[in-house]
Amino acid sequence: MTTLYNPLINGFHPDPSVVRVGDEWFLATSTFEYLPGIPIHRSTDFETWELIGHVATRPGQLAVEEVPTAGGAWAPTIRHRDGVFHLVITDAMGRGMLHFTATDAAGPWSDGDLILKQDGSASLDGIDPDIAWGDDGTVYITFSGLILSGEGVGQHLGIQQVRVDLDTHRALEEPRSLWSGTGGQFPEAPHLYAVNGRWYLMIAEGGTERGHGISIARGDAPDGPFETAPQNPLVSARSTIRPIQNTGHGDLVVGPDDEWLCVLLGVRPRSMTRAFSALGRESFVTTVRWEDDGWPAIDPVLLNARPGTRVDIDFAETRTLDGEWIAVRATPVSLTDLDARADAVVLHGDGRTLDHPRPVFLGRRQEHLTNDVTVRIDAGAGVGGLAVRYDERFHVEVEVGGDRVTARAVVADLVQEWSVPAGDGVIDLHIASRKPEASAGFPRTSDVFHLGATIAGEWVEIAQVDGRFLSSETAESFTGRVIGVYAVTGDVALLSWHAEGDDD
């Protein structure tokens, strides 16, 4: 029997889409302004998932270099047809709505073709595209009609659809409005499915926060008309005490043993009122049952965390960067120097701090609610350190420069620093995310950061910072925590990385 772990994919992995090919499953998620973009995970049992590659690994595939924070790669749909993987996505405030293809989900993927309006003048204006093929081979692109540019920016036109010629990537008609849910805000994440001779249109509505949910309708053709399911929303955690909240933005798939499953996003909030989600939106899964009346029923999303993990990397032994390393609006390889030293990855600072939209920063997603990271760095020829980043306005760090180590918390326009003396040369820096102590029986935040360094052979805690300031609710971010090493000036050499965590 399949064990369904939740989260399915830990850490910042929102907007999951999944496809089955034979006895394998391939899952894609959003990456926004981070590169490489759009990770692809593969599983043979729906329990263990392996990161096998990314869609966007080359300059030009996504134009995220100058997108505003929260722009970039939004909400992919991955499908497979006639030996080819297809992935459609919106590069929000970047290139526009794109169609990528590959014969191997691990890559390489195509450069990405713009899905154009009928007159060919520009990309279709919308987000969260879905791709489906009718019985006659007609290609349908169904999307959420949020206008991202021009005079109508911010206006939402509901769920829309066009037929598209994939040879020219041009719409064959003006967008048509489809069923847009039961009245919840921000109808989005549409997916079309042909099941037992009927077409089902599943969407998210209610916003991607606490009101999030999934609704469905059905019809006799991929372009409708659609009738609304009587039991909508199919799934939502709104107004419940469930430990996984914001459940929505789902995709259906036939899983192991021909059991239907729904992958979807959610968050794991903590605090007295469960107000702060430290890790942002993660990928989850739940079971689906088809009722006698032909409607699906989606079970509540249950927490079932995996065992803790540990990652140890010694760069004197490992001379490559694995696929878990990501960077902000730049590829990791463009920011790192593996040739300068035989025992380290070197970052060359150019004056940009973590307040800059494009910092010299190399990171990995925080995967666990309780988490410890220690890095050994040599910043004798520069200024830099270890940081946890949500975006350029929300980050905490431990920075070494000259003969001092400084802990810093940046919360929007508020900055606080603590500093202690330290020697020159190689130093171990530490950031730990720990459960908060309960006050009057209730924790008042998501977690607490412990910022420190090993100085003269002793672990020194420099500061504690309330973790709520780096949560999706405070930062109002679509991403999640990313922990990494950065350089401000000169050369900062990362010699080793140690991270371990669990979800107790």
CATH class of residue range 17-230: mainly beta
Mean per-residue pLDDT for 304-320? 96
| CA distances in angstroms from 153 to 10, 150, 183, listed in the order given | 33, 6, 21
Topology of domain 309-502, CATH: Jelly Rolls (2.60.120)
**Residue 139 in tokens:** 């290609």
Rounded CA separation 111/131 (Å): 18
User: How far lies 408's CA from each of 18, 399, 451, in Å?
Assistant: 40, 8, 9
Q: Which pLDDT does position 458 carry in this prediction? A: 92
Question: Mean pLDDT in the chain?
Answer: 96
pLDDT per position as a tens digit, 495-504: 999 999 999 8
**Rounded-to-integer distance, Cα 464 and Cα 165, Å:** 56
DSSP characters over 173-184: S--EE----SS-
Q: Which residue has the tokens 């939209």?
A: 357
What three-state secondary structure class fits 475? helix
Tokens representing 68? 């505003």
| 17-230 and 309-502 agree in CATH topology | no
Provide the residue ranges of all domains of the chain, joining segments of one domain with +.
17-230, 309-502
**What is the tens place of the pLDDT at every residue in 196-229?**
999 999 999 999 999 999 999 999 999 999 999 9
In this structure, are residues 462 and 453 in contact, taking their beta carbons and an 8 Å threshold?
A: yes
> Both ends of the chain: CA-CA distance in Å?
25
Cα–Cα distance measured from residue 398 to residue 418, given in angstroms and rounded to the nearest whole number = 9
Residue 1 has pLDDT above 80, yes or no: no
Q: What is the pLDDT of residues 326-364, one digit of tens each?
A: 999 999 999 999 999 999 999 999 999 999 999 999 999
Q: Tell me the mean pLDDT in the region 46-60.
A: 97
Query: Which residues are annotated as catalytic?
Result: 15, 188
Please say whether the beta carbons of 491 and 347 come within 8 A. Answer: yes
Q: Which residues contact 401 (CB under 8 A, 6 or more apart)?
A: 379, 382, 383, 384, 488, 489
Q: Write down the pLDDT at residue 151.
A: 83
What does the block give as tokens for 419?
Answer: 């500093």
Distance CA 407, CA 462 (A): 6
pLDDT tens track for 247-285: 999 999 999 999 999 999 999 999 999 999 999 999 999
Fill in the amino acid letter for 170.
R
Per the CB < 8 A criterion, the answer to whether 488 and 349 are in contact is yes
What is the maximum span of the chain, computed from C-alpha positions, in angstroms? 73
State residue 380's pLDDT score: 87
- At residue 200, the pLDDT reads 98
pLDDT score at 440: 66
Nearest C-alpha neighbor of 144 from the set 96, 97, 186, 92: 186
Contact call for residues 475 and 393 (beta carbons, < 8 A): yes
Strands 370-391 and 176-177: unpaired
Measured between alpha carbons, how far is 75 from 87 in angstroms, rounded to an integer? 10
What is the average per-residue pLDDT within 358-384? 96
Q: Note the pLDDT of residue 20.
A: 98
Q: pLDDT, tens digit, for every residue of 70-86?
A: 999 999 999 999 999 99
